[in-house]
Amino acid sequence: MPLLPDSLRQQLAPVIKHHFWILTVLMPLLLVPALLIAAGQLKASIDREKATIDSHVSALNAVRAEPDHPNDAWVETFDGRTAAVREELLQEWQGLWDGQASLRTWPESLGTDFLASVGDVASGKRPDLQFRDLQRYQNTVPDLVRQLPERMGCTEMMGAADGEGGPEGIRRDSSFLPGGGPGGEEDTAEASQQLTPLEWKSEDQKRLFMTFAWDKAPTTTQVLLAQEELWVYGLFCDTINRMNKGAKGAYEASITQVEELAVGYPAAEEKPGGRGSGRIIGLRDPVAGLAGDTGLPPDPTMESSRTGAMGVEGRPAHPRFTDSGAAGEGFGGRGGFGGPGPAVPGTEAGGAGGGEPGTETPAASPDDMLKQWIYVDFTGKPLTAPELATAPDSQMVHLMPFVLRVTVDQRQIDRLLAELAASPIPIDVRQVRVNPPNQVGGEGVFGRGVGGLTQPMGGNEGGPAAPGDRRRRPFDVTLELRGTVGLATPPNPAALGAVAPATDPTAGGGA
Query: Which residue has better confidence, 20 or 405?
Result: 405
pLDDT (average), residues 221-235: 93
- Residue 189: per-residue pLDDT: 52
- Residue 72: per-residue pLDDT: 78
For the stretch 212-224, pLDDT in tens is 988 889 999 999 9
Q: Tally Cβ neighbours within 10 Å of residue 282.
A: 18
In a domain, 75, yes or no: no
In a domain, 390, yes or no: yes
Render 300-316 in DSSP notation, one character per residue.
Answer: HHHHHTTS-GGGSTTPP
- pTM of the full predicted structure? 0.67
- Residue 437: per-residue pLDDT: 76
pLDDT at 360 over 70: no
CA 62 vs CA 52, 55, 58, 76, 162: distances in Å: 15, 10, 6, 21, 82
Say whether both 156 and 264 belong to one domain: yes
Tell me the C-alpha distance between 24 and 423, whole Å.
105
Say whether both 425 and 286 belong to one domain: yes
pLDDT at 161 over 60: no
Tell me the C-alpha distance between 268 and 21, whole Å.
109
pLDDT (average), residues 65-70: 70
Say whether both 477 and 418 belong to one domain: yes
pLDDT (average), residues 165-173: 40
For the stretch 242-261, pLDDT in tens is 999 988 888 888 999 999 99
- Residue 276: per-residue pLDDT: 60
State whether residue 467 is helix, strand or coil: coil
For the stretch 28-63, pLDDT in tens is 888 888 888 988 889 899 999 999 999 999 988 887
Say whether both 306 and 324 belong to one domain: no
The H or E element containing residue 480 is strand 476-488
**Which residue segment(s) compose the domain that 358 sits in?**
316-370
- Residue 312: per-residue pLDDT: 41
Say whether both 255 and 117 belong to one domain: yes
Tell me the C-alpha distance between 346 and 366, whole Å.
11
In a domain, 35, yes or no: no
Say whether both 445 and 406 belong to one domain: yes
Nearest to 225 by CA among 238, 212, 239, 244: 212
For the stretch 280-319, pLDDT in tens is 544 444 434 433 443 444 444 333 333 333 334 567 888 8
**What's 419's DSSP letter?**
H
In a domain, 302, yes or no: yes
In a domain, 278, yes or no: yes
- Residue 455: per-residue pLDDT: 36
pLDDT at 120 over 80: yes
- As separate numbers, helices (DSSP H) first and strands (DSSP E) second, the chain gives 14, 5
pLDDT at 463 over 60: no
State whether residue 18 is helix, strand or coil: coil
- Identify the burial level of 266 via C-beta atoms within 10 angstroms of its C-beta, where 0-12 means exposed, 13-18 middle and 19 or more buried: buried
In a domain, 85, yes or no: no
pLDDT at 416 over 90: yes
pLDDT at 382 over 60: yes
CA torsion 171-471-411-448 (nearest 10°) is 70
Q: Total structural domains in the chain?
A: 2
In a domain, 144, yes or no: yes
- Identify the burial level of 370 via C-beta atoms within 10 angstroms of its C-beta, where 0-12 means exposed, 13-18 middle and 19 or more buried: buried
Say whether both 183 and 237 belong to one domain: yes
Query: Which residue has better confidence, 23 or 129?
Result: 129
In this structure, of 133-137, 200-204, 232-236, 393-397, the range with the lowest mean pLDDT score is 393-397
- Residue 353: per-residue pLDDT: 39
